[in-house]
A and B are shown apart, each in its own frame.
Chain A
Amino acid sequence: MTAVLAVQDLHVAIGPRGKAANVLRGASLEVQAGEVRGLVGESGAGKSMLGRAVLGLLPANAVVQSGTIQFEGRDLLAMPEPERRSLLGRRIALIPQDPMTSLNPVKRVGAQISIMLRHHLALSKREALERATELLTEVAIREPRRVLDLYPHEISGGMRQRVLIAMAFACDPSLVIADEPTTALDVTVQRQVLQLVERLRQRHGAAILFVTHDLGVVAKICRTMTVLHAGRVLEDGETADVLVKPRHPYTRALLAATPRADRPAEALRPVPPALIESLWSEAHRLDRLAVAGPA
């Protein structure tokens, strides 16, 4: 069975030609149908870039240098634009990071949900509204009819995130990319949102690529995980294995830097600068090798 998502040896550079920074240096990962995979790494590790590359949301000055991104066996990068667009939002969906800026401020919630349903599922206006009501009920929004008539600024951040989650699952996608969807929320709302995502995943049978820097979140909901650093995959496997027996010193350092209830705060150790330094110089050495070719 082919993986829902298979990223192979992806290289992405950002910036002006000549001075471009390599943000992904041969990253690879697979997500199987129905799998929940955590994609972790510190800021700048390239985890968000990987998610954006799948969605075609790379910044204007970013270039995919090589590699493939296969969705259900078809390469998204080689696909004609209209075909890719018909997959985005319908088969591949996004739960964005910041619920405060991710909804259009001048359009009613109902209009924003139904335009997507009408675009991808060719529903009539009435059908789309009906379906939007169901979706809001599914994400546990009370009085969905009333909320459909509200503007984003009239509902809370947690509620907006629910609306965005409802929109992600609206067309029964087989892959949902969650780009740090809990980072901008406070802790109590975070938990509800995670439960909600898990429930919807089960109901709609989607696979999820959960991009986060929060190992706690990964431990809670992801069966498998990928650790990214400096644009490369350092570790990949069952979450339990990776967290209990981290093979790479960087993963160990990340774990040591995570606050936990069962140990005092003094025990927190930042990732040693020397380790980050050595990883980066290793990355650059491999880049030079790749350019020069094997000796």
Chain B
Amino acid sequence: MRWGEIIRRLVLIPPTLFGVCIIVFVLLRVVPGDPIAMMIPPGASAADIDRLRAFYGLDQSIPQQFITWFGQALSGNFGRSISLHQSVFELVLARLPATLELSAMATLIAVGLGTVVAFTGVYVRGRGAEWAIDGGIGVFLAIPDFLWALILLLLFGVLIPLLPITGRIDPQLDVTFHTNFYLIESLLTGRLDVASALLQHMILPAVALALPFAALVARILKASLSEAEDQDYAQIARARGFSRPAILLREVFPNALIPTVALGGVQITLLLGGTVLVERIFSYEGIGNMAIDAVINRDFPLIQGLILTFAILFIALNLAVDLLVTLLDPRLRHG
């Protein structure tokens, strides 16, 4: 990707986000469900309801509401949460690091696991074991992350209670954080006991998110490795006396990495989307879990803020993937 292309992509970000804002804003208000109905006590008078509606600006037309909200959003004010009575911006900012740490951990596990499986699968190519590996990958692709979450929770939380199954950290642990990146902060400050507690809470949801993605990485990487190994340059490396593992690692892998990053990288967005249900199942305090509460409470400003956050993450991820592919492929670098 050359500079022109990068600039083009950056220029396209604001209109994309604007489109996302409009769609979310309008959809929320068109579908049935009313935030006011969620917050009033039984027996409230019609006048009370009208007053509340006016207080939150919900008595105005949708375009009018949008202009008000969008104007404020441009100055960094994303409104106040109706159900939590706090600034949406601060709420999201406080919860986002938890989701980022969880997703990063899940991605790490998935990439590691997927790579090992892909190499094993290619190494036993043409033998019965390859069928077993392909079949295994298929099974893991077919089972969604939230189902893994339930399975893991029942298995390691209830049946063999090895690991904590709720929250991000033990409440009795005496520690104050200065950032919301708990894991990174505890590692940087050398609080290994805290890091270990965090990891224990993180491992089950991370594995649940990682398993389907690992299968995806394994499938794409294995196919790419197989294809690259059949290319002339890899065959010729054999005729130059290199061993098969050396060829797979040094000649084949750098080539197979390009389609794998291009295809698999954008699928991290699926993993991010998966945090919504998985965080809920493990009561993990990230933005995914928050999104479910926001939807249940019809908390319009919070939902808008959260979806905008996801949209920004997705766009950033796609851009990062394209940049990485350019770095990996010299043919793209020189155009």
Contact = CB atoms under 8 A, between A and B. Distances in A.
Interface string B307-331: 0000000000000000000001111
A208 to B, nearest CB: 15
Contacts of B239: 55-57, 88-89, 94
Contacts of B334: 151, 153-154
A204 interface: no
A88 B241 contact: yes
A153 B331 contact: yes
Contacts of A90: 241
Nearest to B242: A119
A55 to B, nearest CB: 4
Interface residues of A, number: 29
A37 B256 CA distance: 38
A115 interface: yes
Interface stretch (A97-105, A251-259, A271-279): A97-105
A98 B233 CA distance: 10
A105 B232 contact: no
Interface centre among B232, B240, B331, B334 (most CB of A within 10 A): B240
Interface string A58-75: 001000000000000000
A44 B233 CA distance: 23
Nearest to B331: A153
B231 interface: yes
Given A96-B232, A153-B334, A105 B240 contact: no
A93 B251 CA distance: 18
Contacts of B128: none
A86 interface: yes
B124 to A, nearest CB: 13
B238 A57 contact: yes
B51 interface: no
B254 interface: yes
A104 B254 CA distance: 10
B330 A119 contact: no
A220 interface: no
B81 interface: no
Nearest to A104: B233
A120 to B, nearest CB: 7
Contacts of A98: 232
Contacts of B255: 104-106
Contacts of B232: 96, 98, 101-102
Contacts of A105: 233, 255, 330-331
A107 B241 contact: no
A94 B331 CA distance: 26
B236 interface: yes
B9 interface: no
Interface string A109-122: 00000011001100
A87 interface: yes
A56 B247 CA distance: 15
A101 B241 contact: no
A119 B246 CA distance: 11
7 contacts: A56-B238, A88-B241, A89-B240, A96-B232, A104-B234, A106-B254, A167-B240
What are the 10 closest A-B residue pairs judged by CB atoms, nearest first?
A: A89-B240, A88-B241, A89-B241, A101-B232, A55-B239, A85-B241, A151-B330, A104-B233, A94-B239, A102-B232
Interface of B: 126, 231-236, 238-243, 250-251, 254-255, 258, 328-331, 334
Interface of A: 55-57, 60, 85-90, 93-94, 96, 98, 101-107, 115-116, 119-120, 151, 153-154, 167
Given A89-B239, A151-B331, 11 more contacts: A55-B238, A56-B239, A88-B238, A102-B236, A104-B255, A106-B258, A119-B240, A119-B242, A151-B330, A151-B334, A153-B331
